[in-house]
């Protein structure tokens, strides 16, 4: 090959190499300039910033969520455990030997529970129950258990009943022990302490609730409203929240627990500044309540044989709604629902029970000294019969509309020596006061109760003045 040919060959090869180099350089410059201008120029567009922010947020979320889905993240670490064998205390010798006295289980009777269900609950055979109830006096105490009563069962380790214990009354406890085929009864006298206390307070929103909070029983409250003060105080309309009452009762305590409250010995009630009081005293074997000077609080007659009833027709001439003419109304009418109990207006002997013309079903009571009362339009009679004596307040029948009546009500008549009188306005005969030795005994008995009330209320009661003073109602 000649030199000129070689030169031409090298020149063309060099040119191709240079062209490739230039081509590659050009291509690289184009790509960098097109795709990464910010890398070289230091500036990003708004779209690039938005994309970068979106990708950064998504990355942060993935980094936070994905580790939480790992099942091993919250796996509790295993801590070493140590097991120790502790020796149990030994059983008492009395229990091992089956001796009585350490296996008592106390059960409080719930509402609806019977002795049979309690024995079944404890797994005691019914035959054992029948053996205990066959014991004289046991059935009377155990047949009708009251909710709240506590029974004691002495059950040794073999599960058989050894002794049943119950309270016959607040002062006596009975233990029935099973000894072979025999039942041994032991009566244990439980010492109690009697405290005479004065329970005093204001009526507040409710007399019943206030009195119960102080410790008075429902029977005590009924004595206040139905026996002592019902003739002088209208508990529906007269009593206010600021009125006060004080009650003297005997409370029975045992082992620091109140187990019983006796009847009201004395009571005072101040209504609108006027004081009323009453003291308990037994006359002829019957408990009654008297004023401080020995006058009975109980009236000979109550004016309304239906408590809190609505007066619908008064005494005198009126237009009869059924006969359609004017006619003398010789009594008063009290509207009430059918079946409402009707009370005897006073102590009496039953004179008549039966049907009496337009009066329908009627009861007539003879109170003595020429006083009689009639109760008409009854739906049913009570259990009284002619000649029987009834006490004031006893239920003698029930409201109805028998005879000439347009609706259920009681027609009530009051007669003196056969003459009709208005029962709402007539002056009732006063009850017989205490006198002589009975009055002296009354004063000695009520002096302690009066002193206790005075120590609490610090008032002097007008009706507790000496016998020659009969004024009542002195303001405290």
Q: How far apart are alpha carbons 71 and 62 in whole angstroms?
A: 16
User: Is-contact 232 243, C-beta < 8 A?
Assistant: no
pTM here?
0.55
Task: Flag whether pLDDT at 361 surpasses 90.
Answer: yes
For the stretch 181-236, pLDDT in tens is 888 888 888 888 888 888 988 999 999 999 999 999 999 999 998 889 988 887 87
Three-state DSSP class for residue 220: helix
Q: How far apart are alpha carbons 412 and 424 in whole angstroms?
A: 10
Instruction: Please state, rounded to an integer, the average pLDDT across all residues of the chain.
Output: 78
43 — pLDDT class (breaks 50, 70, 90): low
Nearest to 234 by CA among 306, 308, 295: 308
**pLDDT, position 390:** 93
**pLDDT, position 183:** 86
Question: Out of 37-41, 116-120, 451-455, 467-471, which region has the weakest mean confidence (pLDDT)?
Answer: 467-471
The CATH 3.10.450.350 portion of the chain extends over: 103-189, 192-298+431-476
Residues sharing a CB contact under 8 Å with residue 32, sequence separation 6 or more, in sequence order: 39, 40
Mean predicted confidence (pLDDT) in 454-473: 47
Q: Beta-strand (E) ranges in 214-296?
A: 244-254, 257-271, 274-283, 286-290
**pLDDT, position 1:** 47
Task: Flag whether pLDDT at 86 surpasses 90.
Answer: no
Q: How far apart are alpha carbons 10 and 314 in whole angstroms?
A: 152
Task: Flag whether pLDDT at 475 surpasses 50.
Answer: no
25 — pLDDT class (breaks 50, 70, 90): low
CATH of 103-189, one of 3.40.50.300, 3.10.450.350, 3.40.50.720, 2.60.120.200: 3.10.450.350
82 — pLDDT class (breaks 50, 70, 90): low
Neighbours of 147 (CB within 10 A): 10
**pLDDT, position 462:** 45
Classify domain 310-421 at the CATH superfamily level. Glucose Permease (Domain IIA) (2.70.70.10)
Mean predicted confidence (pLDDT) in 103-129: 86
**pLDDT, position 457:** 63
The CATH 2.70.70.10 portion of the chain extends over: 310-421
For the stretch 269-325, pLDDT in tens is 989 888 888 999 988 778 889 988 888 988 888 878 987 778 887 776 666 576 565
**pLDDT, position 474:** 36
Task: Flag whether pLDDT at 34 surpasses 50.
Answer: no
Higher pLDDT, 144 or 366: 366
User: Is-contact 154 104, C-beta < 8 A?
Assistant: yes
User: Is-contact 155 105, C-beta < 8 A?
Assistant: yes
Q: How far apart are alpha carbons 290 and 297 in whole angstroms?
A: 5
Task: Flag whether pLDDT at 56 surpasses 60.
Answer: yes
Residues sharing a CB contact under 8 Å with residue 52, sequence separation 6 or more, in sequence order: 44
The CATH number of domain 192-298+431-476 is 3.10.450.350: yes
């Amino acid at each position: 090959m000649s030199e000129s040919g070689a030169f031409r060959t090298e020149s063309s090869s060099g040119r191709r190499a240079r062209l490739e180099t230039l081509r590659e350089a050009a291509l690289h410059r184009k790509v960098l300039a097109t795709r990464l201008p910010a890398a070289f120029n230091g500036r990003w567009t708004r779209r690039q910033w938005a994309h970068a922010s979106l990708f950064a947020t998504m990355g942060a979320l993935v980094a936070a969520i994905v580790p939480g889905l790992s099942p091993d993240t919250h796996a509790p670490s295993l801590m070493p455990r140590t097991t120790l064998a502790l020796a149990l205390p030994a059983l008492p010798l009395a229990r091992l030997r089956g001796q009585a006295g350490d296996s008592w289980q106390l059960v409080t009777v719930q509402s609806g529970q019977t002795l049979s269900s309690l024995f079944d609950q404890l797994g005691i055979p019914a035959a054992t129950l029948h053996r205990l109830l066959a014991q004289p006096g046991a059935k009377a105490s155990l047949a009708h258990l009251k909710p709240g009563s506590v029974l004691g069962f002495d059950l040794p380790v073999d599960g058989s009943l050894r002794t049943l214990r119950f309270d016959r009354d607040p002062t006596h406890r009975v233990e029935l022990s099973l000894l072979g085929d025999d039942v041994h009864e032991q009566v244990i006298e439980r010492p109690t302490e009697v405290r005479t206390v004065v329970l005093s307070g204001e009526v507040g929103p409710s007399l019943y609730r206030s009195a119960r909070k102080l410790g008075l029983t429902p029977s005590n409250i009924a004595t206040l409203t139905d026996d002592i003060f019902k003739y002088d105080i209208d508990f529906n309309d007269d009593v206010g929240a600021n009125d006060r009452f004080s009650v003297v009762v005997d409370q029975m305590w045992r082992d620091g627990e109140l187990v019983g409250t006796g009847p009201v010995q004395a009571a005072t009630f101040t209504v609108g500044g006027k004081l009323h009081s009453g003291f308990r005293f037994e006359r002829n074997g019957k408990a009654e309540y008297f004023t401080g000077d020995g006058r009975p609080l109980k009236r000979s007659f109550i004016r309304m044989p239906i408590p809190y009833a609505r007066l619908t027709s008064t005494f005198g001439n009126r237009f009869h709604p059924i006969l359609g003419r004017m006619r003398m109304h010789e009594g008063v009418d009290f509207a009430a629902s059918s079946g409402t109990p009707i009370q005897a207006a006073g102590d009496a002997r039953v004179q008549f029970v039966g049907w009496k013309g337009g009066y329908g079903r009627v009861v007539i009571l003879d109170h003595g000294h020429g006083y009689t009362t009639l109760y008409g339009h009854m739906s049913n009679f009570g259990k009284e019969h002619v000649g029987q004596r009834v006490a004031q307040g006893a239920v003698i029948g029930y409201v109805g509309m028998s005879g000439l009546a347009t609706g259920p009500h009681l027609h009530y008549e009051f007669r003196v020596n056969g003459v009709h009188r208005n029962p709402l306005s007539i002056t009732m005969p006063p009850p017989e006061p205490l006198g002589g030795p009975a009055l002296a005994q009354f004063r000695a008995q009520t002096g302690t109760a009066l002193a206790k009330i005075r120590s609490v209320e610090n008032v002097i009661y007008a009706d507790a003045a000496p016998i020659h003073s009969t004024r009542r109602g002195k303001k405290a």
